[in-house]
Structure 1
């Protein structure tokens, strides 16, 4: 403890890193430096996924440049490796974009709004998150119909807010950083709507949306039996998952038993008090669910559970996790990949960056594959791109800057990052320029994907 470097010294170390990577140098990126084809990088990232769903992933990515961007982390990670970096490594979200912020229920039941997707989390240069979020604001704004000038301004607002909040965190007492809450959420117009949606996204709402009563009439068995006035023994039928192709499919037999069996290992990853609560729920049904954009093709199971009766549902999501798309470009990550549990990697990154995390966050393993476990749809909601216009885009951009800075400060070294950023707009201007250039390139890459899909589609019979 006596050997710890002071905040003032760490601030100075951050300033020294400008010699390694000039702040204005962050705008540098040239597509001519690429030696890999983006489509080949995307194809390589789908190895080991469910083959039938890879085509669906490509179709989802072809919907718009922003949709492509969501699923193209392996491409952006490669592109980051082609330019210099600060060497100031921090726990990253890894997939920082406007739709990976959202509302969810904290351990005390109150709604939180924070970064909420950490599949790509890794320790890497802090600016990779910043550049990805800035680019996402430009793309999201364009998708929503905002003018290019407004998109540039949104990126500038995000970057200024990130820099100023990081300076504030660098001066705060450590425990104040750990407890820092954003109290102005209700006044941010796009977020107000998100919180209202999240309020309605209760477990009972999920129960009605994803399940149905099995069979048209009760059947006579011992399980759940009760006597009618005439003495006949009937059963109130179970609720089971609906089949909603291709997004939701019931799982039965040995596979369902294996999924339920994975809860034993998962329970050991929980804190004792939360394990106790889990033990009071019984599994009822299992389904396979298609989720997200970048995650499509990975195995994702849901378990419907009941606690104190049918009005006490718990839905757990068991989501396959593979190595972060940044791992090939981070020193030491390749060596850790073989022994690191990828579900645990995601949990640790999420807990490091979030103020509050899902109380049922944990991990498990099935058939040698690593899985993250969390609640499904527990008061979850995120921004709709059509809400990101004009003033709403600017307000949301500022919030993105504050929340990303908070996550980085919680999990990393705010003094060193702040020392690097300084008080001028040099870093802001450079990353803003990069965001525009990279958004333009993303649109080019998206068109390449669309063209390739048109060539490979089979003609439909007349």
Structure 2
């Protein structure tokens, strides 16, 4: 059942016409890209910053993945409805994927919440649509089809919001996008094969297999394998054990009681630095190996949480601890969250959040997507984003504003193409900064 646009939504159209959502104008006195990047690098581990730049230099799309702060700045100067939801904050297409729920079924959902904060709903939608334009261009897909894909992101977001606005709120919160169900509904044969591979990959994952992949036996104990520059031990674990145990004690207090009991069945045996992602490179990120009395492993990822890229434009988070901000946003948005999701504070007051490193997590292989699969993926991401926003925002108001026609979809497509063009110009400026030596790029750790 779909709801009809209400008076409230129609009044919102009077304040901001839907076609105005297609407007993109470069903000006045916008900083240079080198200035943006250098500001982002403040507080990062400086020996890893050249690796971050090197990863960003692969293509405009990978550059885009690492520059949520640039787009947040630009979006703040564009017309928007000022209607807030719990925004993902970095809702590009590579930040969606599959993982296992506590009940062990595989679902599809957003999976990166470093930038989450209340913000205007269209900011997530525009970032998602733009990411599809850049990904389609990287694959050599024609501009007319690329525009259609961007519009589809909005179309399925809009139509799904109509559906979700009419639902009982409890039913909405119980919705999960089961991967096997998605596979059965896929209309394109190649999409079904892609999903079969992802489901099979997820089902084959086990923590025991990860143990033998990531760790080696040393003097009767397992330790994480050094794989520089991506995985390495930055300090003596034995000398730092008291500090690490104190960190985990504070972390355990953020878990609900049954999960705290479960966590306390394990003991930390090793901890290493692990370089992850593109935009996250340089932020302190660790992987911890814990074992229980039965020698069963548990891997936890410990990732620094700083200020959201949205906060300078939306206001400070209500949470003083940014690890708590990430965890709270993730729990609000996701249909189901990791049982070990929590937060803690490290040396020097650095704030971190904690989650399982490997728990049947699967990421779509974007490089293997063809035109048909990318179209289907755009629909799925648009629908998932609508569910996320409907959970935490005024869904009936948004459904009424967007309506049943395609005005919003046309505008979002127009914006996505314009902002992808700007991203390509920003990427060219970034590459010039590397070539001139203003920014250093290297895939190796400095001596």
Deviation at 1:196, TM superposition (A): 2.4
* Match status 1:267 vs 2:252: yes
- Within a 5 Å distance, the mapping from 1:45-124 to structure 2 comes to 45-124=40-119
Q: 1:80 to 1:388 in 2, by over 3 A?
A: same
Q: Give the Cα–Cα distance (whole angstroms) in 2 for the partners of residues 74 and 109 of structure 1.
A: 35
Shift of 1:20: 2.4
1:154 to partner: Cα distance = 1.2
- Please tell me whether residue 440 in structure 1 is matched to residue 435 in structure 2: no
Q: Which residue of 2 aligns with 1:239?
A: 222
Which protein shows a greater Rg? 1
Partner of 2:167: 172
Q: Structure 1, residues 175-227: CA drift from partner, whole Å, max 9, x if none?
A: 1111123353224424333222222332122212211122xxx5xxxxxxxxx
Q: CA deviation at 1:293?
A: 1.0
Q: Secondary structure at the match of 1:51?
A: coil
Shift of 1:9: 12
Structure 1 residue 38, shift from structure 2 partner? 2.4
1:321 to 283, 292, 305: 305
Q: Which moved more, 1:449-458 or 1:434-443?
A: 449-458
Distance 1:114 1:192 in 2: 17
Pairing of 1:246-257 with structure 2 (within 5 A): 246-250=229-233, 251-253=235-237, 254-257=239-242
2:263 to 278, 294, 299: 278
User: How much does 1:292 deviate?
Assistant: 0.9
When residues 43 and 402 of structure 1 are mapped into structure 2, their CA distance, relative to the original with a 3 A threshold, is: same
1:344 to 320, 324, 336: 324
SS at the partner of 1:31? coil
Unaligned runs of 5+ in 2: 443-447
Q: Distance in 1 between matches of 2:381 and 2:29?
A: 30
Determine the C-alpha separation between the residues in 1 that align with 2:433 and 2:67: 15
CA distance in 1, matches of 2:160, 2:22: 22
Instruction: State which of 247, 251, 276 in structure 2 corresponds to 1:291.
Output: 276
Match of 1:194 in 2: 198
Q: CA RMSD in A?
A: 2.0
Task: Indicate the residue corresponding to 2:207 in structure 1.
Answer: 203
Please give the secondary structure, in 1, of the residue aligned with 2:47: helix
Which residue in the other structure is 1:416 paired with? 397
Q: Does 1:150 pair with 2:149? A: no
Q: SS of the counterpart of 1:302?
A: strand
Q: In structure 1, how many angstroms separate the alpha carbons of the residues matched to 2:242 and 2:33?
A: 39
Task: Name which of 353, 364, 372 aligns with 2:353.
Answer: 372
Distance change in 2, residues 1:196/1:11 (3 Å): farther
Structure 2 Cα separation of the partners of residues 158 and 32 of structure 1? 25
Q: Which moved more, 1:411-420 or 1:138-147?
A: 138-147
Helix, strand or coil: the match of 1:395? Answer: helix
1:133 aligns with 2:117: no
Find the aligned partners of 2:3 and 2:203 in 1 and give their Cα distance. Answer: 43
> In 2, distance between residues paired with 1:34 and 1:430?
25
What number of residue pairs does the alignment pair up?
Answer: 427
Q: In terms of mean alpha carbon deviation, does 26-35 or 291-300 score higher?
A: 26-35
Equivalent residue in structure 1 for 2:373, among 376, 388, 392: 392
Which position in structure 2 is the counterpart of 1:427? 408
1:50-97 Cα shifts (integer Å, max 9, x gaps)? 111111111111111110000000100000011121011000111101
Unaligned runs of at least 5 residues, structure 1: 1-6, 219-236
Give the SS at the match of 2:82. coil
| Corresponding residue for residue 227 of structure 1 | none
Q: Distance in 2 between matches of 1:213 and 1:51?
A: 32
Residues 458 and 106 from structure 1, CA distance in 2 versus in 1: closer, same or farther, beyond 3 angstroms? closer
SS at match of 2:145: helix
Q: Tell me the alpha carbon deviations over residues 350-381 of structure 1, each in whole angstroms, 9 at most, x when there is no partner.
A: 11111100011000001211101100021111
Query: TM-score scaled to structure 2, two decimals?
Result: 0.91
SS of corresponding position for 1:382:
coil
Say if 2:391 is the partner of 1:406: no
State the SS of the aligned residue for 1:262: helix
